[in-house]
Structure formats: structure tokens, C-alpha cells
Structure 1
Amino acid sequence: MDGVKGYRRLIPSLTALVEFEAVARLRSFTNAAQELGVTQAAVSRQIRLLEDLLGIRLLDRLHRKTTLTTEGEALYSVVSQALGKIAGVFDRLSTGIEDEEVVLAATAAFSHFRLMPSLARLKRLLPNLRVRLTTRMFTGDLRHTEVDAEVRWGNGKWSDGTSQLLFDEQVFPVCSPAWKDEYGEPGSLDELANMTLISDDPTSEGWLTWEEWFRAVGARPIKLRYGVRTSLYNDAVQAARLGQGVALGWGRLLHEHLASGELVALTSACLPLSDAYYLVIPHGKAMSPTVQTLVELLRNAAGVA
């Protein structure tokens, strides 16, 4: 009973916390009221109650925009995770169903090279799991989706979720073993620039172009020789596997192709990148044991010790 009394003293209104979470997540009193099925005035009263109890301002109410103060961000981070955990347990207990569905978002390349090969192993560990994959060309806002987790490339700092590092990355030229046997390893970066290169269009995931890669490793070739140009990285990798030339290989992403020998590194030239792959959990959702299992599988599948 002492613990219950303590919580009641420190957290006098769970309703206020629920409504604060909705406003903070949606960045709108109007949208929060619609989601909760109450009036905007009722939501405003609950937020004022919280602010009066704490003696601090949690939200800045601008003309057409609501933003969190530093204190509001701190409270939202904790409240969203706690409510997500509670909601998850309630959902499982109320349905009585042990099956679990996880909605994962990723780019087409990450889904193809990392998620799909890991699904069979994940199902063996969690046979009642249902996975729904959604492909994104651009990074979305997790506050307005039903996604449970999203794979992102970047520095790990996003305002709409909590990030967990998957693995870092390095980029180097790759080709098929047959292509390397036929044309040999280039003696210099200038010689590499004159080989048949396969390019793909850069996307929001941060793919490097050949020009950017050469500059980053300290080379300044006058002109590059392209044999195949593709709009998708998946197609560039497939062209390299089929012996059409040399593609830029993202080592962690292509770990299985490199480990199996379908692709090989053409040279020792390699570019480590400062950004990395992260799994981002939206605020309001918890890092469930299922998602944590997925994180470990993805790390292992990419050759991360």
C-alpha cells in the first residue's frame, strides 16, 4: 500500500499524462482531442493541471504549432515508453492471443538484403510472430504511423523515436569472382576509374555516388566509365553479381553475398562511414523482447560480433 500511496502522491492524474502524451506526440491540441474523443478545452485543462502541479511549462503554444520545452521533452520520453509498455500488456491480456504482429519499416535495399534473410531465423525463434514489412523511399515521421520500428541510416538522433544502433558501415568496390578473374585487380584508383562501373541513383538512405566515393578516398579521376546505370541499389548489386562490372558495396548490407563468395572485394580501398544503421522505436512504443531479438539477429546476420 505504501508504494501505491507514493505513486498517487507523485502522479496525481494519469488522465493528464495520457492527454499530455497525445499532444506531445501529435504536436497539436486539436489532433490530440480528436484522437482521445474529448474536447480541445478538456485537453488544455489537463495540460495546465500538469504544468501547475510541476511548476514548469511543458509546451510552447504557438500560433499554428505546439512544441515541447526541454522539460516537456524529458517527461514525454519517459511517459511515452511507459504507456507503450502498459498498452502492450493490456492488448495481449485482453485478446488472450499469443500471436504478435510487428510492423517494420525500411528502405527497399535494407529490406531485401538484411530483413528478408533474417525473417526465417526470427520465425524459428518466435513461431507465433507475424511480421509486416513496409518499404519507404524516404524517412517518415513516426508520430503519425502504425509502425512498431523503422530502420534508418544516419547519426541516431531523431526527435520522433528512440534509436538503437544496429551496425556501422564501410563502402568498397565489389564485383563477381568471374569478373575479377577476367579483368584482375586494378593497380591504382585511376585504373579502377577506367574499369566498367555500375552506378545507382542516390536516395534518402545516403547512398554514395562513385564520384563521392573517389573524392572521399583521396582520388580525383577526370572521367568515370559507366557500363550500367540503375535507379535502385538492388539492381546495381544484381548487375555486379551477374558480371556486368564493379559496384559500390556496402559491406554490412552485403555481408551474406560476400561471405558466400557471390561477390568479392575488388581492391583493398575502403571507406568507413561516420553514420550507421539504427532501429528507431516511435515514442509511445516500447522496445519489446521481440524487437530486441530482431536487433540481435540483424547484428549477427551483418557479421557484427
Structure 2
Amino acid sequence: MKTQENGNTHKGYRRIIPSMTALLEFEAVARHGSFTLAARELGVTQAAVSKQVRQLEENLRVQLFQRLHRGIRLTSEGQALFSVLSESLQKVAAVFDRLGEGNSEQELILSTTATFSQLRVMPRLGRLREAMPQVRLRLATQMFTGDLRNQDVDLLVRYGDGRWTDGHAVQLFEEEIFPVCSPAWLARNGAPDSLEALYDTDLLDADATTEGWMTWPTWFRELGEHPPKLRYSLRCHLYTDTIQAALHGHGVALGWGRMLDHLLASGELVRLTDLVVRPREAYYLVVPHGRDTTATVLGLVDWLRS
């Protein structure tokens, strides 16, 4: 007697999925948000990619993309297909990568900003090797975090309110912000005895980012102060450069406590005052839709919190 199998398996994948090529080209278009960029990656013409996607839509009898005046956008059906396809292809690619290198290690691509990578991740790599020796980390460092659909990453660190539509967010930790300087600067200048005195110190600052990065004027306003035009000793594009300037004794920077805890613990930086601002936002580890929050992911959460 013939056993009843799963309907999809019984039909055979080839009958259900007429063209793997079309799926691969659809995934590239969805990931890039562009037929042109997908064609460039795949080494084919834009017309060929467009034709494959059209045929896929006809086979499925659904529209996968909204064709807009200046671009494209996934429909809800397209998003559903992309989520499961992206996860599946990355799992296949990971197996190929692992088999090709002849090892059983698990590589995870973690996307972070340069600040988080240099100040939070790098000091803790030794602990990761001890706690999770099977994990190989690949850092995808960038200026700002963005849409997960446009990134070939497994996990992403974000700072914000945790309400994002392209993945599941697991809170890492909240933040607190306070003035910091080097012991040498403090010995030369002494601690300011008021907020007004802090206005006139050698302030170091970094440019604000789209992620809600706090600058000196914002920090003062959060404390109910409205200082006059501030005098900066140095302004930097990157926060990491601002911290380097503080370490070298060039002035007072805003210290993001969770980024600088190792420098404060070692005494390389010190808190200048007890004044502190606690933002409403927090740091999160974002798992893209279609992927599971596995034991490995939770292990990385514990490591990043440590």
C-alpha cells in the first residue's frame, strides 16, 4: 500500500519550482532593490533578469514587485517569498563554505557600526572564543545601520527603540552618557564645579548620526540647560576618533558608558562628573525575518552583554 507523503514532496520540487534561475535572480533583485544592480551582480543583462522575474510572477500568479516611478518595492507576497528564500540560500551557502574549507565551524556575519565594533566587540573577542569556540565571526562594519534586505548579514546591532519591521529585535542593554576625560587632562585642569564651567572646558565632539547619536548641545538640553555657542577643542566625524582624542588628553568627550566600560575599568578614561543622561533608546541585536533565534544567537546576546 502506497503511503501518503507530504503533498509538496510527492509532487517533486521540480514541478513546484519551475526555475531555480528565476528564484536566484528574484532574490538578487529583492536584496538590492534594483534590477540593474542585480544584473550587475549576476553578470547578465537587466532585460534577462526582468524577464525571469516576470515569468516567476506568471507561474505564481502573483505580483512580487510594485514597479514605481523611481524604483521597485516588494509586495507582501514578494516579501514572504524573499524572507524564506534569503534564509534558505544563506544556509546552503554556509554549508558550501564550510564543506569547501573542510571544517565544522559556524560563521556568522555580524553587522555593526564602527563605534560598536571597535569599542564593544573587539575588547570581547577573547571571551567569545572561550565561550563559543565553534563560532567564527565575520564583522560587516559600516557607518550607519540600514535595511536588512540590502545586506548579506546574519545579525545586526542597532541602536533605537527596537520597533523595526525587517527583523526580530532582542535588547542587549540600555545606555547612559556622561563626560569623560583622561587622568592626565583631569590632573592639568581639574573637574568643573558646575555645568556652566563645563561649557568652557576643552570639549571634544563627534558628528550626530541618523541613529540618534547624542552631541554636547543635546546632552546639555536633556539636563535642562541651554548653553551659549560652545567652544570645541576638536570635532570629529567619527566617535572613535573623539575617544582617541580624549585618551590622548586633548579634552572632554561624551562617554557612552556601554562602549567605554573597558577603558573606564582600566583607568585610561575617568568620569569627570556625576551628571548623566539616560536615553530612551537602547542597543538591540536584530535577527532578520525568516531566521530563527537559535541557541547560538542567544549565546552571542550573552557575550555582547558581558
Give the TM-score band, short-chain normalised: 0.7 to 0.9
The residue type equivalent to 1:190 in the other structure is E
Q: Deviations over 1:49-72 (max 9, x none)?
A: 32x3xxx65432335533123344
Partner of 1:5: 7
Residue 252 of structure 1 deviates from its aligned partner by: 1.0
Consecutive unaligned residues in structure 1, runs of 5 or more: 301-305
- Bigger mean CA deviation after superposition, 83-92 or 242-251: 83-92
Q: Deviations over 1:251-295 (max 9, x none)?
A: 111121223333232223222223333334556766665554333
Counterpart of 2:171 in 1: which secondary structure? Answer: strand
Q: Percent identity?
A: 49
Q: Deviations over 1:159-211 (max 9, x none)?
A: 66554433322211122345556655444322322333222333455432211
In the alignment, structure 1 residue 266 sits paired with structure 2 residue 268: no
Equivalent residue in structure 2 for 1:275, among 281, 286, 290? 281
Partner of 1:48: 58
Q: How does 1:192-231 map to 2 (within 5 A)?
A: 192-231=198-237
The residue type equivalent to 1:4 in the other structure is N
- Name the CA distance, whole Å, in 2 between partners of 1:66 and 1:175: 48
Counterpart of 1:254 in 2: which secondary structure? Answer: helix
Partner of 2:244: 238
- Name the CA distance, whole Å, in 1 between partners of 2:8 and 2:16: 13
Alpha carbons of 1:203 and 1:7: their partners in 2 closer, same or farther (altered >3 Å)? Answer: same
Aligned-pair Cα RMSD in Å: 3.8
Q: Deviations over 1:234-264 (max 9, x none)?
A: 2322333344432101111112122333323
Equivalent residues of 2:182, 2:246 under 8 A apart: yes
- Name the CA distance, whole Å, in 2 between partners of 1:117 and 1:2: 55
- Name the CA distance, whole Å, in 2 between partners of 1:166 and 1:132: 19
Alpha carbons of 1:26 and 1:244: their partners in 2 closer, same or farther (altered >3 Å)? Answer: closer
Q: Deviations over 1:78-105 (max 9, x none)?
A: 4433443454346545764223444444
Q: How does 1:112-191 map to 2 (within 5 A)?
A: 112-127=118-133, 129-139=135-145, 142-157=148-163, 163-177=169-183, 179-180=185-186, 185-191=191-197
The residue type equivalent to 1:59 in the other structure is F
Superposition TM-score, scaled by structure 2 size: 0.75
Equivalent residues of 2:180, 2:253 under 8 A apart: yes
Q: Deviations over 1:212-238 (max 9, x none)?
A: 211122101224343344443223223
Residue 297 of structure 1 deviates from its aligned partner by: 1.0
Equivalent residues of 1:137, 1:204 under 8 A apart: no
Partner of 1:303: none
Alpha carbons of 1:5 and 1:108: their partners in 2 closer, same or farther (altered >3 Å)? Answer: same
Consecutive unaligned residues in structure 2, runs of 5 or more: none
Alpha carbons of 1:7 and 1:166: their partners in 2 closer, same or farther (altered >3 Å)? Answer: farther
- Name the CA distance, whole Å, in 2 between partners of 1:42 and 1:182: 69
Q: Deviations over 1:98-138 (max 9, x none)?
A: 23444444333222211111212222334454444343224
Equivalent residues of 2:25, 2:52 under 8 A apart: no
Residue 30 of structure 1 deviates from its aligned partner by: 6.4
- Name the CA distance, whole Å, in 1 between partners of 2:173 and 2:84: 26
- Name the CA distance, whole Å, in 2 between partners of 1:170 and 1:212: 14
Partner of 2:86: 80
- Name the CA distance, whole Å, in 2 between partners of 1:275 and 1:183: 33
Q: How does 1:86-105 map to 2 (within 5 A)?
A: 86-89=92-95, 91-92=97-98, 96-105=102-111
- Name the CA distance, whole Å, in 2 between partners of 1:238 and 1:223: 24
- Name the CA distance, whole Å, in 1 between partners of 2:231 and 2:68: 53
The residue type equivalent to 2:71 in the other structure is K
